[in-house]
Amino acid sequence: MNKLLQLLGDGRFHSGQELGDALGVSRGSVWKNIGRIEEEYGIDLHRVRGRGYRLAGPLSLLDGLALQNHLRSTKWSLFLYPEVDSTNAEALRLLSAGALPPFVVLAEAQKAGRGRRGRKWISPVAQNLYYSLAYRITGGFQQLSGLSLVAGLAVMISLRNLGVRQIGLKWPNDIYAGGKKLAGVLLELSGDPADVCYVVIGVGINVNMVSTKEQIDQPWTSLRTELGHLVDRNSVATCLSDTLHSYLQRHTDYGFASIQEEWEREHIWQGRDCVLSTASQQVYGRVVGIDEMGGLRLEVGGVEKSFNSGELSLRLAP
């Protein structure tokens, strides 16, 4: 199935005979697999008698061999799937089965992608980047301090390096471009946080998605929208891996304090009046910055208070 998508990925017409010869199957098998792609993956294809099959638009598919070769410099291994429920969930399963971190899980699609606060992450086939890094933590709670913010900063820097402008962070770890959400980070733990544990850093980046039939509850954008052209998802994955590796190493060596000031410079709501929603109340205050643990510092009624990330939601005050 993935091989057929690779052949069609250029967005041009390919005859059933041409595709069958390349795959070593009959034209009838090609026709059946085309139907499966449409039904299972929701990908639109055009059929024209005498010309063959063509995707509604070109796709950028992941190249497992090239990505694994690139990851050798970081000593991270790779697990690449056509489809999973969630790359974070798969990474946690691999850890439970004995896979040794650090390793990256990538998928062409997710059936049950998720973001913070239980929200669904829209995950169409071969459109966006669905990426999870399983990482070993040995320094206890201190090594976990601010880690989600460090991951968000690394994602933002990697996207800026790819050419995105007007990009910044929204506490705790959302990435915005031009006031619209471009990417997000979700961390999940396995093991004992006070001793040795594993953290799965899940990253979702809107890469080539320009429309969706599913409802998204906030303004969003994509790399393709921001840059004006189809983006190579392999380049996004390699750039992200390099930047994550650099920032995680810096966090390990020097702690969150070495990154705190840089994060604050990139916070799009620094100094703004905001509403922080908790499970039981809404807190109105002005964003002062973040503390040494990555918690949000708000000036509330003339008094500075800190709030940890947890299940909190930050919005601009009306």
Residue 114 known to bind ligand: yes
Q: Which of 54, 181, 224, 233 does the annotation list as catalytic? A: 181
Rounded (5°) CA angle 126-128-131: 105
Residue 181 known to bind ligand: yes
For 93, residues 6+ apart whose C-beta sits below 8 A from its C-beta are none
Q: Does 286 participate in catalysis according to the annotation?
A: no
Quick one: 72 exposed, middle or buried, by C-beta within 10 A (0-12, 13-18, 19+)? exposed
Name the nearest CA neighbour of 122 among 106, 109, 104, 107: 109
Q: Which of 116, 160, 224, 233 does the annotation list as catalytic? A: 116
Q: Does 116 participate in catalysis according to the annotation?
A: yes
E-strand spans in the chain?
Answer: 45-48, 52-55, 77-81, 103-107, 129-137, 167-170, 174-177, 180-191, 197-205, 273-277, 282-290, 296-300, 303-307, 313-316
Residue 110 known to bind ligand: yes
CB–CB of 202/173 below 8 Å? Answer: no
Residue 116 known to bind ligand: yes
Phi, psi of 2 (to 5 degrees): -65, -35
CB–CB of 129/240 below 8 Å? Answer: yes
The whole-angstrom separation of Cα 30 and Cα 15 is 10
Q: Does 315 participate in catalysis according to the annotation?
A: yes
Residue 233 known to bind ligand: no
The whole-angstrom separation of Cα 122 and Cα 214 is 8
Binding site residue list for biotin: 86-88, 110, 114-116, 181
Catalytic residue numbers read 116, 181, 315
Binding site residue list: 86-88, 110, 114-116, 181
